């Protein structure tokens, strides 16, 4: 966020759809923390760590679209497009397209471990 040259605000949402690295199947997606501000008429850049099946991101995009933002774009650091279950998922900016493997470090973890590593590494699970 330090490098974004325009005036902007940061907010966070928290969704639950995964537990311990496994999908919950038909249990769905739960909104644990909603945005603190109204986004109507605002330009939204949704930043995601990993886009995989697209189910969670699709849910969030639909939720935010109902709130009538001026625009909604999606950026992700890691993308796995070959695992998509949502055909028309709008991912506008992709850092890296990666294989179907787990990564740790730089904030990514497996069971709350390895998040503190200073770089992104392929996990050996």
Query: Whose structure tokens read 């991101």?
Result: 57
Per domain, the residue ranges of the chain are: 40-122
Q: What is the DSSP letter of 113?
A: B
pLDDT reading at 120 higher than 50: yes
Distance (Å, rounded) from C-alpha 10 to C-alpha 35? 10
Residue 124's pLDDT band (boundaries 50, 70, 90)? confident
Picking from 80, 77, 76, the residue whose alpha carbon sits closest to that of residue 101 is: 80
How many other C-beta atoms are found inside a 10 Å radius of the C-beta of residue 124? 8
| Predicted confidence (pLDDT) per residue in 73-97, tens digit | 999 999 999 999 998 898 999 999 9
pLDDT of residue 24: 44
Q: What pLDDT shows up at residue 20?
A: 46
Class of domain 40-122: alpha beta
Q: pLDDT band for 60, please (50, 70, 90 cuts).
A: very high
Contact present, 31 and 15 (Cβ < 8 Å): yes
- The pLDDT tens digits of the residues spanning 1-44 come to 888 899 999 999 999 875 544 444 445 888 999 999 999 999 99
Q: How many helices (H) and strands (E) does the chain have?
A: 1, 9
User: Can you read off the two tokens belonging to residue 89?
Assistant: 């998922």
Q: What is the pLDDT of residue 44?
A: 97
What's the pLDDT score for residue 47?
95
Give me the pLDDT at residue 23, please: 47
For the segment 104-116, what is each residue's pLDDT rounded down to a tens digit? 998 899 999 999 9
Catalytic residue positions?
A: 52
């Amino acid at each position: 966020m330090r490098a974004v040259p325009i005036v902007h605000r940061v907010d966070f949402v928290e969704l639950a759809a995964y537990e311990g690295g496994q999908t919950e199947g038909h249990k769905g997606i739960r909104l644990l923390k909603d945005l603190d501000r109204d986004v109507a008429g605002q330009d939204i850049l949704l930043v995601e760590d990993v886009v995989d099946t697209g189910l969670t991101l699709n849910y969030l995009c639909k939720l935010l679209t109902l709130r009538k933002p001026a625009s909604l774009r999606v950026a992700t650091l890691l993308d796995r497009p070959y695992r998509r279950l949502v055909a028309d998922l709008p991912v506008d900016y992709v850092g890296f397209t990666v294989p179907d493997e787990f990564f740790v470090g730089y904030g990514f973890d497996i069971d709350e471990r390895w998040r503190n590593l200073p770089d992104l590494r392929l996990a050996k699970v």
